[in-house]
């Protein structure tokens, strides 16, 4: 770290941890070797938090080499030993919960109440879950499927995993990628987004302090074009896991294919929010506002397209707009703040561009502007409701990644489900109805990796997260993600010498 920035100790109590650099390789902080620096900026104020040296290809090589050295020992540990280490890890994270929450709020602009109540507790819970899962890596029961031969299936770790995480949930995404990988016996090199590396680095240091061996978890903080592409293409990396946009996911897949890597992609989303005419209107309105504005809309599962059956449409638009007007923008560290800034002014301007272009073909009912006054120096944008856009319009089809909800009417149930499925994405969706059969039909026919009923956004460690279509493939969280990070081996024993002779005679004859 070259420059400590202007963050005060109460906002950034972990600042002194990064004096040695913002790379974490083989259990210690180091400086990047790219020759370039990057600033972590508080998006609420525009102030620099720290300036650090970016990772170059040499840093990636060093991190992969450290992970390779650590692999045999970690993969050879018993499930109980890995489980015990992860339980200790969860305890260290719990002890540092406030430090993690403040660092996450500072680098992302998230309200502190969100990081305290959602991001950090969710990460600790996920760590505890995989501590238990580490003891349940199962193969298949043995059996005699071919005469006197006994067969069974082993599940084994893959090797060194190279992962790339996004900036919208830096701590949780680090956990989702690191925990199932190491619980299964792999080692890992994670590249966080250069905008938001702080909590990924703190997470890795907490693992070391919990007794997880050096080199099992490594962090390289650099650009996608340099550090990210080198990590994905590295010949000693056996698997790549990426979370981010669909466009970048295609590039990751292209690079990974050259070395025939295992690939896990969690990509973009454009979640439909389908409100049938028998739904509880007030519940749906509150669900839509919460689902659309979570993390300032920078969530690939956020509610972005509300399809409302025509008898409820105008009331839904009116009440949703009114509720959005009550949402309080402000300092993420202030107790009364509901909504923080977007990650950067670049992202704010991108979101504003979508809304400004939509004014030519749709109705902007609420928001649609950046606030003035004290908040103007941050990357804030008001909660925005857009109505009456065409299904094929840009604002309906493209991922905006901001606090914008688009509302469209539909007439029949068939039409509502058809419209919900009518984008390239398939990550998440929700259906709102009092009729269990109607809701059940929606869960069957809406094509998405997760469909909530009368709710939108909650996740739990025991259940999988991941999409279909242009939203990618593979699962995070749950035992399903645990399986993503293992490979299957068939083992077959010849039980008798006679059987072996008979087998050879079948092939070579009597000689």
Q: What is the DSSP string of 382-444?
A: --EEEES--TTSHHHHS---SSEEEEEEESSHHHHHHHHT-SSEESEEEEE-S-HHHHHHHHH
Query: Could you give the residue numbers annotated as active site?
Result: 266, 300
d(CA 232, CA 224): 10
Distance between CA atoms of residues 49 and 108, nearest Å: 11
280/284 Cα distance (integer angstroms): 6
Alpha helices in 140-183 (DSSP H): 170-183
> Are the C-beta atoms of residues 463 and 478 closer than 8 Å to each other?
yes
Can you tell me the distance from the alpha carbon of 338 to that of 487, in angstroms, rounded to the nearest whole number? 44
In sequence order, which residues have a C-beta less than 8 Å from that of residue 160 and are 6 or more positions away? 64, 67, 68, 71, 186, 187, 188, 189, 236, 237, 238, 239
Determine the distance from the C-alpha atom of residue 146 to the mean position of all C-alpha atoms in its chain, rounded to a whole number. 44
Cα dihedral 32→258→479→145 (10° resolution): -140
Looking from the CA of 397 toward its CB, the CA atoms found within 13 Å total: 8
Residue 373: DSSP 8-state: G
Structure tokens at 92: 């260290």
- Beta bridge mates, 53: 37
Structural contact between residues 428 and 448, judged by C-beta atoms closer than 8 angstroms? yes
Of the chain, the end-to-end C-alpha distance in Å amounts to 73
State residue 244 phi and psi, 5-degree precision. 170, -155
When computed from its CA atoms, the radius of gyration of the chain, rounded to whole angstroms, is 25
What tokens does 330 get? 């402000």
CA distance 242 to 228: 10
Whether the Cβ atoms of residue 200 and residue 219 lie closer than 8 Å to each other: yes
Structure tokens at 458: 């909650």
Helices (H) and strands (E) in the chain, counts: 17, 22
**CB burial class (10 A; 0-12, 13-18, 19+) of residue 161?**
buried
**Do the beta carbons of residue 281 and residue 443 sit within 8 Å?**
no
């Amino acid at each position: 770290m070259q420059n400590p920035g202007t963050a005060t100790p109460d906002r950034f109590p972990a600042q002194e941890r990064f004096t040695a650099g913002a790379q974490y390789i083989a259990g210690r902080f180091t400086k990047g070797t790219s020759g370039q620096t990057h600033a972590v900026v508080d998006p609420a104020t525009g102030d620099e938090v720290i300036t650090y040296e970016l990772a170059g290809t040499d840093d990636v090589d060093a991190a992969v080499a450290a992970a390779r050295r650590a692999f045999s020992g970690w993969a050879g540990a018993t499930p109980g030993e890995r489980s015990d280490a992860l339980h200790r890890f969860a305890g260290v994270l719990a002890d540092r919960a406030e430090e993690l929450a403040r660092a996450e709020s500072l680098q992302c602009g998230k309200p502190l109440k969100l990081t305290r109540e959602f991001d950090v507790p969710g990460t600790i819970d996920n760590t505890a879950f995989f501590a238990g899962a580490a003891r349940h890596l199962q193969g298949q029961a043995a059996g005699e499927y071919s005469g006197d031969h006994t067969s069974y299936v082993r599940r084994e770790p893959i090797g060194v995993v190279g992962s790339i995480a996004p900036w919208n949930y830096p701590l949780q995404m680090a956990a989702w990628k690191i925990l199932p990988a190491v619980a299964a016996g792999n080692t890992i090199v994670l590249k966080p987004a250069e905008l938001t590396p702080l909590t990924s680095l703190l997470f890795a240091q907490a693992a070391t302090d919990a007794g997880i061996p050096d080199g099992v978890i490594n962090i390289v903080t650099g650009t996608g074009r340099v550090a990210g592409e080198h990590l994905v293409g590295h010949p000693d990396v056996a698997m790549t896991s990426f979370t981010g946009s669909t466009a970048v996911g295609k590039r990751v897949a292209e690079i990974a294919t050259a070395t025939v890597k295992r690939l896990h992609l969690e990509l973009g989303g454009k979640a439909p929010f389908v409100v049938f005419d028998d739904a509880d209107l007030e519940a749906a309105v509150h669900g839509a506002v919460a689902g659309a504005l979570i993390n300032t809309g920078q969530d690939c599962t956020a509610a972005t397209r509300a399809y409302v059956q025509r008898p409820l449409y105008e009331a839904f638009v009116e009440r949703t707009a009114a509720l959005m007007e009550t949402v309080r923008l402000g300092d993420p560290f202030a107790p009364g703040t509901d909504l923080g800034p977007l990650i950067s002014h670049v992202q704010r301007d991108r979101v504003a561009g979508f809304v400004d272009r939509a004014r030519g073909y749709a109705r902007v009912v609420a928001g649609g502007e950046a606030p003035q006054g004290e908040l103007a120096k941050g990357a804030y944008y008001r909660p925005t409701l857009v109505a009456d856009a065409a299904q094929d319009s840009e604002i309906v089809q493209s991922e905006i990644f901001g606090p914008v909800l688009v509302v469209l009417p539909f007439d029949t149930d068939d039409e509502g489900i058809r419209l919900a499925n009518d984008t390239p994405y398939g990550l998440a969706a929700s259906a709102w109805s009092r009729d269990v059969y109607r809701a059940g039909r929606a869960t069957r026919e809406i094509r998405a990796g997760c469909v909530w009923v009368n709710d939108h956004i909650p996740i739990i460690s025991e259940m999988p997260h991941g999409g279909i279509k242009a939203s990618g493939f593979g699962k995070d969280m749950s035992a399903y993600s645990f399986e993503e990070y293992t490979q299957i081996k068939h083992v077959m024993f010849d039980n008798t010498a006679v059987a072996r002779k008979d087998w050879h005679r079948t092939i070579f004859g009597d000689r």
